[in-house]
Amino acid sequence: MTRDDGGDAVGVDAPVAEVRRVVGGRALVLTGDDRRRADPVTERDAEALLTANVLLGTAGELTVFVSVLVVAVRRRSPAVGRSRGHGPRAWPDNAFSPSSGTR
């Protein structure tokens, strides 16, 4: 079925049986999952999926990197304090706790 403006796909909001009765054999009526067959460009879907995978992978890698960096800094901080002459009592158990103050 071709519209007056040259398009060959039409969206209709009506009962399926009535649409099939009106168009007869002149058009293919697609419903449900079959509607994807009307989309001629499936490469865009594959591109979008690839882009989403790349973005999620990058975000995951960044999360792991930041986590490892934070753990390394937290392990290093007490060692730096001890190397400056602070004893175990002078260095708090949690160097990043609000009560630890600045040292």
Q: What is the pLDDT of residues 22-57, one digit of tens each?
A: 888 888 888 888 777 777 677 788 889 999 999 999
pLDDT tier at 98, thresholds 50, 70, 90? low
Q: Which two tokens stand for residue 65?
A: 């990197």
Q: Domain extents for the chain?
A: 1-40, 41-103
What is the distance between the alpha carbons of residues 24 and 18, in angstroms, rounded to a whole number? 10
Phi-psi region of 11 (alpha: psi -120 to 50; beta: other; left: phi over 0): beta
Helices (H), 1-103: 16-23, 43-83
Share of the chain above pLDDT 70, in %: 72
* Residue whose tokens read 């509607």: 35
Share of the chain above pLDDT 90, in %: 20
pLDDT of residue 97: 57
User: Rounded to the nearest 5 degrees, what angle is found at the Cα of 70, between the Cα atoms of 52 and 80?
Assistant: 160
